[in-house]
Structure 1
Amino acid sequence: MKKYFIAGILVWAPMSITIWVIGWGLGLLDGVFGSVMHAIITVFPNQFSSDLQHFRELPGVGILIVVSVIMITGLLAINFAGQWWMKVWDRLVNRIPIVRSIYSSVQQVSSTLFSGSGQAFSKALLIRYPHADSWAIAFQTGMPAKEVAAKLGEDYVNVFLPTTPNPTSGFFMIVPRAHTIELEMSVEEALKHIVSMGSVPPTSSTGLTAAKSNHHL
């Protein structure tokens, strides 16, 4: 009975979690549309309020509209006129004292994560953590700032050390490059290995082989 129960969990757990994550994302998109429609109905109460309310309650409409708006925004942003408007918008937002700090930080992080030229999560590394006799898998996220690099005076790298089994939290660390071991496994394989707490090995064993061969570092 225990064997059958565990086998059933292994079948349903990935499917249930996947459906939950997708449902959460779709609900978030639909909630954005619902908030906008609610604001329109509140600010402009007229004879069309009931029709707008019914339109808001249609299932799936909010998701389609939000996705369409995002796609259209992206289409406009990549042409010359859209880039000009984006520069005007950035200059306008950067004049607001508190908003500009939040906006610029989120903009830089988004550009780094979603652009193909960014260095975020460029490779998986082994670093010594939490002490010199143990190793942890981390992700290289770039190079230290100029001031930090000048103060340290050696070859250092920025790494993100995710926690297990929730990789969305973790630690930002600056470590010497000589104290890291670069893995040949992909970032996706390393992330799966971390989330599974080491129970799911990467599909390619080359990364672990390389790590073992350099264990003398």
Structure 2
Amino acid sequence: MKWVSKYFINGLIVIVPIAITAFVVINIFSFTERLLGHYLPIHFPGLALAVVLFLIVVVGWLSSYWLLRTILSYAERLLGSIPVVKFIYNSVKQVSTAVFESQKLLKNAVLVPYPHPGVKALGFVMPDLSAPLAEKFSEEHVCVFVPMSLNLTSGFNIILPRRDIIPLDVTSESALQYVITAGAIMPRGNDSNS
């Protein structure tokens, strides 16, 4: 019976993010379609998509300027003062930031001694340690994310001396494939197609 609960959990892990994404996207487009249909005399298929994409680009462009950054910062502080909303907003923001920046984050594949010396695990170097962490070590340390096989959304962040990591000259895509397939597909070098 354990296998049923295991497969049920795995199914939820796959279906829930897809369902939430589909729900949000469909609702954004249907809301935009209704809004445009109410206020604009013209209507054609794909208008909502064009408007949403245009608004995303405009907000992204404006967010690089001081005034909108200040307004957004104020709005975030305001949301941060409401207890339940603060938790939801911060959680969603952190997850979306992680997802959209994951291609940048999971680039530098390395081997690290994990879970104990003498054993090596494939991991990815994370951004530099913050000052409160770095000052606790007498030599340079690095944060490495060691993902769990078959599931990139979970793993372990380990902090270890830079001298203990072994850089790999492999493509980030093949390193990710190695993790996702539990080692069935071995990492390929940056200069090879095999």
TM-score (norm 1): 0.58
Aligned-partner Cα distance in 1 for 2:153–2:102: 19
Select the residue among 131, 135, 157 that pairs with 1:172. Answer: 157
Aligned-partner Cα distance in 1 for 2:132–2:24: 40
1:31 partnered with 2:43 = no
For 1:73, the equivalent position in structure 2 comes to: 59
- Following superposition, the deviation at residue 122 of structure 1 comes to 4.3
For 2:111, the equivalent position in structure 1 comes to: 126
Identify if the C-alpha distance between structure 1 residues 111 and 126 changes in structure 2 by more than 3 Å, giving closer, same or farther.
Answer: closer
Q: 1:144 aligns to what SS in structure 2?
A: coil
- Following superposition, the deviation at residue 200 of structure 1 comes to 1.4
Identify if the C-alpha distance between structure 1 residues 160 and 109 changes in structure 2 by more than 3 Å, giving closer, same or farther.
Answer: farther
What does residue range 180-195 of structure 1 map to in structure 2 within 5 Å? 180-195=165-180
Aligned-partner Cα distance in 2 for 1:112–1:154: 31
- Following superposition, the deviation at residue 30 of structure 1 comes to 2.0
Aligned-partner Cα distance in 2 for 1:184–1:28: 39
Asked whether the equivalents of residues 32 and 52 of structure 2 are also in contact (C-alpha less than 8 Å), the reply is no
Aligned-partner Cα distance in 2 for 1:73–1:115: 22
For 1:87, the equivalent position in structure 2 comes to: 70
Aligned-partner Cα distance in 2 for 1:107–1:94: 15
CA radius of gyration, larger in: 1
Identify if the C-alpha distance between structure 1 residues 105 and 159 changes in structure 2 by more than 3 Å, giving closer, same or farther.
Answer: farther
RMSD: 4.2
- Following superposition, the deviation at residue 149 of structure 1 comes to 1.7
Select the residue among 75, 80, 97 that pairs with 1:110. Answer: 97
What does residue range 42-81 of structure 1 map to in structure 2 within 5 Å? 62-78=48-64
Aligned-partner Cα distance in 2 for 1:121–1:187: 7
- Following superposition, the deviation at residue 151 of structure 1 comes to 1.7
Aligned-partner Cα distance in 2 for 1:134–1:206: 27
Residues 78-127 of structure 1 deviation map (CA, whole Å, 9 limit, x = unaligned):
4xxx43122222134224424667549937983996499x7x33411101
Structure 2 gap segments, 5+ residues each: 1-16, 39-43
Identify if the C-alpha distance between structure 1 residues 123 and 62 changes in structure 2 by more than 3 Å, giving closer, same or farther.
Answer: same
Aligned-partner Cα distance in 2 for 1:72–1:33: 17
Q: 2:151 aligns to what SS in structure 1?
A: coil
